[in-house]
Amino acid sequence: MDRKSITILLVAFLLIVSWFKLVEFLYPPPPPRPMVKMTNTVATATNPGGVSGTNLPTPALPAAPTAPTQWVAPTAQEKLLVLETAEVRYTFTSHGGGLKFAELKRFPKIVGNRKVTEPDRVVTLNTKAPVAAMTILGGELVQGDGLFTLAKAGQGMRAEKLLPNGLRVVKEFTPGTNYLLHVSVWLENTKGEAIPLPAQEWVFGTATPINPLDKGPLMKLSWYDGEKSDSIGDAWFENATLGCFPGTRRTEHKVEGKIVWAAAQNQFFTMTAVPKQAAAQLLTRHVALPPHDRADVPEGDTPVAKPFGFQSAFVYPGQTLFPGPTNAVHREFTFFVGPKEYQTLARQAKQMGNNLDLIMDYGGFFGFFAKGLLVSMNGLHSFGLNYAWCIIAITVIIKLLFWPLTAISTRSMKRMSELAPQMKLIQEKYKEDPAKVQQKTMEFYRENKVNPMAGCLPMLVQFPVFIGFYTMLQSCIELRGQEFLWAHDLSQEDTVAYLFGFPLNPLPIVMAVTMFYQARLAPPSPGMDPMQQKIMKYMPMMFVFILYRFSAALTLYWTVQNVLTILQTKLTKLQDEKKAALGKSTPAKIEAEKPKKR
């Protein structure tokens, strides 16, 4: 390797190491929104899920432009009530009379080789959110002092409050199977005169990080309007120019019209609400969260300093509530509080008829491939294969399916490389007439039976598969905690150590090596100038830069793909050389075997 190559590699590596710190230094993130801290004492014996039992910080929502957004923190002690199913442990709070957080009992908070102080801690949703899920914000006329009475009601829980103006608010939560939670809410006028109800925000949940190491790049709010799904994440609130340079930060997002369901989700888990009565609006706010609990942080790791979340609510218009139970406002919701497992979501979508599986973002052209790859991977896993070997097996199958196309491409590129001198002569002869160059070049291709597009065809055909793989691996919870070689979690980076705070990930480096070797085997395209050849030569460094912080599963797929392509290129060249050698020796052999004339 020459000095220039070494210099380029060194500069690229330093860029990778310093890029994120450099951007953070030049464009520091804005300070989080101020939060009102409260001191509350929990009245229950236990407080599972990694949330402290005493001196529990419950931040208040900051004031916002519209009337219903202010959350008035109760001054009385917070009481908790816990309900359990086989999959979820729900913890309800008297502050707001809603779901404080939900623990998914099958899923540990930290996976891989990292260790935490209490390894039995599991994933929680709505973790340390400013307000509980199903809190109704609408000023004193609706929430009063925000303190509810909690009581068991059959298999569920009942939260109730009677306001001084005669408004009774009753909420019933009934856990179901397969991560479902059914909610019914009544607003009843118990006095003789009508009560004016202002517009209300019914907070159904807050998208929160999976654990203290989750920076939230895949945390978002998704919704479905009956025809298509959409989502927003931190990038929308940052409002960055070209995705890099900070712009005027947005604080809230509104969706008007029909909302079939809305999901506050992170990379692998979701808190999805399906309202039975249509809301007028879906409102989402970017909110700051309290610091992570030290007991949740793995030894030797540093938690995210400024965690944030997306608090989302259904907005219902103001109205006049007349006396009597027959005039009560009754609203119902079905919640899915669990993992983003495609099969589970697909079953629920079929039963409820609401396309709940679109939470996975497997819609559109590339989603078809993502769905097919996930089903194939789970099918192979059902035969006892480790998920890493499932990825390798799928990569091999894909390579075998595209083998003929790749072989044609390799031969076409080799043939065009051989014809490069003649093509260069054509370009020099008609350099004053570009149209003539084009015409003569195409004639030259036809005479020599060469298709210039044959070299690009395999890449074009395989591109949807790669994007499908990328889409599938973004939210594939099946890979969470799956090990392979030194990688302890295929859904995350394969970090083995840190150098000055920068993670060292071997798989992207191995991938780059295979890409370099693959580029050396491929003959240069005819007519390509030296600068373009150098760009193609160092193209792998760009992919290392792009994929360095991606999941180990994606780089594993690409590395295996490169190794198989290298193997196929060598086999194709070997076969062509044998055919060429056989073609040259045949005439001599025939001549030697002819009987001599006397």
Residue 254: is it exposed, middle or buried by C-beta count within 10 angstroms (0-12/13-18/19+)?
Answer: exposed
126-to-39, 41, 101, 130, 527 alpha-carbon distances in Å: 19, 20, 5, 9, 58
Distance CA 438, CA 531 (A): 22
- Dihedral sign for Cα 413, 415, 420, 423, please: negative
Backbone angles phi, psi at 138, to 5 degrees: -170, 25
Q: At what angle do helices 457-474 and 403-418 cross, to 10 degrees?
A: 140
> Chain-centre distance of CA 179, in angstroms?
21
| Top-tier CATH class for 31-359 | mainly beta
Distance CA 415, CA 163 (A): 84
For 121, the token pair is: 């801690």
**pLDDT tens series, the chain, 598 aa:** 445 555 555 565 555 545 545 545 554 554 444 433 333 333 333 333 333 333 333 333 333 334 455 677 788 889 999 999 999 999 999 999 999 999 999 998 888 767 666 767 899 999 999 999 999 998 777 777 889 999 999 899 999 999 998 999 999 999 998 999 999 999 999 988 899 988 999 999 999 998 888 888 889 999 999 888 899 998 899 887 655 566 788 889 999 988 999 999 999 999 999 999 988 899 999 999 999 888 888 877 788 888 999 999 999 998 899 998 888 999 999 999 999 998 888 888 888 888 888 888 887 778 788 888 888 888 898 888 888 999 999 889 888 887 777 666 666 666 666 666 777 777 777 767 777 777 777 777 777 666 665 556 666 667 788 788 888 888 888 888 888 888 888 888 888 877 777 778 888 888 888 887 877 776 555 555 556 556 666 666 677 777 777 888 888 988 898 888 888 878 877 776 776 676 654 444 434 444 444 4
For 194, the token pair is: 């009508």
Distance CA 510, CA 555 (A): 9
Length in residues, the chain: 598
User: How many CA atoms lie less than 13 Å away from 483 in the CB half-sphere?
Assistant: 8
- Dihedral sign for Cα 373, 375, 380, 386, please: positive
Contact between 43 and 79 under an 8 Å Cβ cutoff? The reply is: yes
- Dihedral sign for Cα 383, 387, 391, 396, please: negative
Q: What integer pLDDT is reported at residue 588 of this predicted model?
A: 41
- Dihedral sign for Cα 5, 6, 9, 10, please: negative
Q: What integer pLDDT is reported at residue 414 of this predicted model?
A: 66
Q: What integer pLDDT is reported at residue 41 of this predicted model?
A: 33
For 245, the token pair is: 């340079």
- Dihedral sign for Cα 294, 296, 300, 304, please: negative
SS3 378: helix
Cross-strand pairs, 136 = 202
Distance CA 530, CA 255 (A): 52
Distance CA 78, CA 264 (A): 25
Distance CA 569, CA 383 (A): 32
User: Which residue's structure tokens are 């499932």?
Assistant: 390
> Domain coordinates of the chain in residue numbers?
31-359, 387-583
Distance CA 329, CA 140 (A): 18
Distance CA 554, CA 570 (A): 25
Q: What integer pLDDT is reported at residue 271 of this predicted model?
A: 95
Identify which of 503, 502, 501, 521 has the alpha carbon closest to the alpha carbon of residue 562.
Answer: 521
For 567, the token pair is: 């193997």
Backbone angles phi, psi at 546, to 5 degrees: -70, -45
Q: What integer pLDDT is reported at residue 56 of this predicted model?
A: 36
Backbone angles phi, psi at 243, to 5 degrees: 75, 5
SS3 119: coil
